[in-house]
Structure 1
């Protein structure tokens, strides 16, 4: 028998245990465990029949729904390197991803075939494989298993390479730290793009026999009946998603949800308080990134409230204690976080080619942080986001935490504009905030030292975010400068341009 990761055997065993039960649904179509395994194996055999090399990268461009899960399993159990791409990717982004990862084949809906062929790609429909229950051999542990693209906020995206072995370990660890063991019939609601955080939770949930509801975003008419009938056991809701849910159902209370998985960006106290009022003390916080599969750190629900009570303008955001096998260090001078773990990436692909991670090396995250006396990690911001104004260093999160209540649950961000006099001028922008929020924000800003107070307050219909839902400050800065000009000097002012 070949040593390696027995993806195929595991999926077939899961299908034998839970065969007729619903595995995945989008609220309209349903997929049983038996059909999931059969279609995934059918597509896997089809890919092996047409692919040039067993371990080549094969991309997927699938909207959230049952076919996205089938495709992910198929590429994985066949032993290829899965390259999942957000369906919102532009032609230019797809072209760059293909150049970087060197894939030619891509599984996508049939209606994408002409577009993909025009980009020089071979489109394969998920339905092309039919069904099969013929098992496949284990996959070599060290072979490439999954490629994830960075957000590209500091340049063109890079591809992060994970091995099949690293991915398998991440699956085990994810299941080991679940706040409860899903039972058949327990349903988790996932609304973020499947190529990101939703996929790892999907695998962990299905491997225990639970049911995954995978929606293409926050679809109120599909969510409402689930909440009203207590039909959800868990929800994956990063802060932006959580805020949208709460805005759809203001001042409502729901029972039945045992855990809200929250991550990808800092959870601020006001949003946590509103979530607790709606769902109870069920929010669980984790820390994750493309370079390392979750779990990196975990803050269980019974500790989140205490951490929120400790959060102020200088403390940062608590993301909990390191998960199994995770080592975290803080540079004493720069406060940058570095980590090492069994589920860390195998290497990185840039325009210059592939560079493996040196054995045993720590990964410098670019995040700033501290470890408290209880061993919990607190995020203080990004090294690239540190503001330098008037000779002072300021973290945007310090200001955002203080001003957040003024936005009444809407997203709020601090960004800077270049200034010859100050170095950087601080501006506060809220997303679709209520009328009069600026006055409340100015009153709250009185708690801050003068050099930390924003010089202007703006409202945008939407804040620019990357595919992972994280704010892109560089794009927000560009958007401000397209409609406003800075009147520099000792008392800087931001003036709207004519016609803006």
Structure 2
């Protein structure tokens, strides 16, 4: 049954289109020799479509053949051994993608580092992950210490130019990827990503999100983030043309979509929210796939009304990869749903918490042995409706108890986010001498809009139970967020 699912999905997405027999043989030979990791996926794409543009970024565009040549020569030049860990502190670019693949080609492990980390957090990551080397954009040079080998962006190009031949033989040990958790509550932990063992993981996603071979994909989500990294893996497997920009700019992104005839967008929800503030829209998208945080109330409907029914929302985590995918039809019918589990994924609700099993669960945090893991708890509370759609009710550790009543801040956030004056909102619990905890709502209004605290309370009072009414209502210019757009609730002001 799994073989039939894989074959039918690959056929529907254009991956079984006939081609030059020699190139097709080289393509599958590359996967056979190098596997389905980054090094193997690039090689199969270069074997089948060597002259296709692989990456367009702020500085250059490179074909698949050129990307393979650059990454192979960098692999030969790197001062590390198989099994070493190499940090990557870079913004989205062809150089970052080539470095990531070069490290994997060498058989070393890539540690993807959030560019928004403080200097103190970065030092802790360097020490905690035992980095043998760190490849970084030149702009971050003054934030790095304690690494045996530091290689800036300019040095990467120089190493490639000075190395006449690249590695052509697979390493004894395949390089792995370590993704850092978001670090919203402290020092990020390193989660070891598994290497796909075949086509099944790819097909599980593209069965629900209809990305096709040769797609032109803008990856706006950071490549160091689980979703940006996954988008890059999918794009390589599809021999797509990837458009990258070092920094997210809403108006610039809309312009890029049109200029490069982009057909698919990989983003995080806050980016869609910012796109809605741009006066022009691009109607050439087939797919806008988001992940990384919950869709704010009403955003799915507003986005599709403007860009068409192209929105797909993947709910997952660094540890679980994916849990469920909501299609445009799901989001039209139930805008707050996280969708249904894709092929090969199973969801259980245990004591109100979401548990998931699939073939791409993480292999544990660095320094921990979790061999044989078959299921993980996402740490989120959730429930299923009669149609089998999943709803995420909020983080288990976000639930507050006020006067003996359990309150989920996400329910209040969704209600307030639907107000036409509200651009974004975050609701948290704060200590209270009488009730144990009380709700505090933090709102960012749309330009030119006005709203007072009592109107906010009255809106909640009309729609939810009295204990859901926020005692504190604060109006902010913006919510504190990390580099992936996730709200840092610990940094919200705590008094009214």
Query: Which TM class, normalised by the smaller chain length?
Result: 0.7 to 0.9
Q: 1:359 to 1:16 in 2, by over 3 A?
A: closer
Q: Report the CA distance shift for 1:204/1:6 in structure 2 as closer, same or farther (over 3 A).
A: closer
Equivalent residues of 1:263, 1:287 under 8 A apart: yes
Does 2:474 correspond to 1:444?
no
2-side partners of 1:321 and 1:158: how far apart?
A: 28
TM-score of the aligned structures, taking structure 1 as reference length: 0.84
In 2 relative to 1, CA 408–190 (structure 1 residues): closer, same or farther, beyond 3 Å? farther
CA apart distance, 1:75: 1.5
**Residues 273-311 of structure 1: CA deviation (Å, up to 9, x unaligned):** 2201210111101111111223x2111122211112xxx
Aligned to 1:190: 219
Could you list the runs of 5+ residues in structure 2 that have no partner in the other structure?
1-28
Off by >6 Å, runs of 4+ in structure 1: 1-4, 166-169
- Distance between the aligned counterparts of 2:281 and 2:138, measured in 1? 41
* 1:31 matched to 2:62: yes
Find 2:382's aligned residue among 369, 382, 392: 369
User: Residue by residue, what CA displacement relative to the aligned partner does 1:48-73 show, whole Å, maximum 9, x if unpaired?
Assistant: xx21x311111111111111111111
Give the corresponding residue for 1:490.
Answer: none
Question: Match of 1:97?
Answer: 125
Partner of 1:137 in structure 2? 170
Q: Deviations over 1:123-145 (max 9, x none)?
A: 123222346454231664xx661
d(CA) in 2 for partners of 1:244, 1:324: 32
Shift of residue 9, structure 1, vs aligned partner: 4.7
* 2:50 corresponding residue in structure 1: 19
From the superposition, tell whether residues 177 and 58 of structure 1 become closer, same or farther in structure 2 (CA, over 3 Å): farther
> Is the 1:82–1:145 Cα contact (8 Å) retained in structure 2?
yes
The alpha carbon displacement at 1:431 in A equals: 2.6
- 1:468 aligns with 484
Partner of 2:134: 106
Match of 1:161 in 2: 192
What is the CA–CA distance in structure 1 between the aligned matches of 2:184 and 2:58, rounded to whole Å? 34
CA contact (8 A) 1:368 1:383 kept: yes
CA contact (8 A) 1:170 1:293 kept: no
**2:383 matches 1:383:** no
RMSD: 2.6
Q: Is the 1:9–1:135 Cα contact (8 Å) retained in structure 2?
A: no
Distance 1:396 1:66, change over 3 A: same
Hey, what's the Cα distance between the residues in 2 that align with 1:139 and 1:372?
48
Whether the 8 Å CA contact 1:189–1:213 is kept in 2: the answer is yes
In structure 2, relative to structure 1, the CA distance for the partners of 1:471 and 1:224 (3 Å cut) is: closer
- TM value normalised by structure 2: 0.84
Alignment partner, residue 237 of structure 1: 267
Q: Is the 8 A contact 1:163 1:345 kept in 2?
A: yes
Deviation per residue, 1:416-455 (Å, 9 max, x gap): 2100101112111113544313365344212121110111
The answer on whether the counterparts of 1:62 and 1:68 sit within 8 Å (CA) in structure 2 is yes
**Given that residues 412 and 428 in structure 1 are in contact (C-alpha distance below 8 angstroms), is that contact kept between their aligned partners in structure 2?**
yes
Q: Which piece of structure 1 moves more, 357-366 or 90-99?
A: 357-366
Structure 1 residue aligned with 2:16 = none
Q: 1:417/1:427 Cα in 2 relative to 1: closer, same or farther (>3 Å)?
A: same
Unaligned runs of 5+ in 1: 309-316, 485-493, 495-500
- 2:242 is aligned with 1:225: no
SS at structure 2 position matched to 1:297:
strand
- Equivalent pair of 2:114/2:483 in contact (CA under 8 Å): yes
How far apart are the structure 2 equivalents of 1:300 and 1:139? 41
**1:381: Cα distance to partner?**
0.5
- Aligned partners of 2:176 and 2:302: how far apart in 1? 39
User: 1:24-64 deviations in whole A, cap 9, x for unaligned?
Assistant: 112442122111111111111222xx21x311111111111
User: Partners of 1:447 and 1:389 in 2: how far apart?
Assistant: 18
Conservation of the 8 A alpha-carbon contact between 1:6 and 1:137: no
Q: How many angstroms does 1:218 deviate by?
A: 2.6
Once the two structures are overlaid, the 10-residue window that deviates more, 98-107 or 147-156, is: 147-156
Do the aligned residues in 2 keep the contact of 1:270 with 1:409 (CA within 8 Å)? no
Equivalent residue, structure 1, for 2:408: 395
Between the aligned partners of 2:321 and 2:197, the Cα distance in structure 1 is: 9
Aligned with 2:301: secondary structure? helix
Deviations, residues 46-105 of structure 1 (Å, cap 9, x unaligned): 22xx21x31111111111111111111111222221101122222211111112211120
State the shift of 1:177 in Å: 4.4
Structure 2 CA distance, aligned partners of 1:302 and 1:44?
Answer: 45
Distance 2:200 2:87 in 1: 22
Cα distance in 1 between the residues matched to 2:271 and 2:241 = 20
Question: What's the counterpart of residue 318 of structure 1?
Answer: 337
Mapped pair 1:278 → 2:292: no
Alpha-carbon distance between aligned partners in 1 of 2:220 and 2:40, rounded to the nearest angstrom: 29
Cα pair 1:271 1:409 within 8 Å, conserved: no
Q: Is the contact made by 1:3 and 1:138 (CA closer than 8 Å) also made in structure 2?
A: no
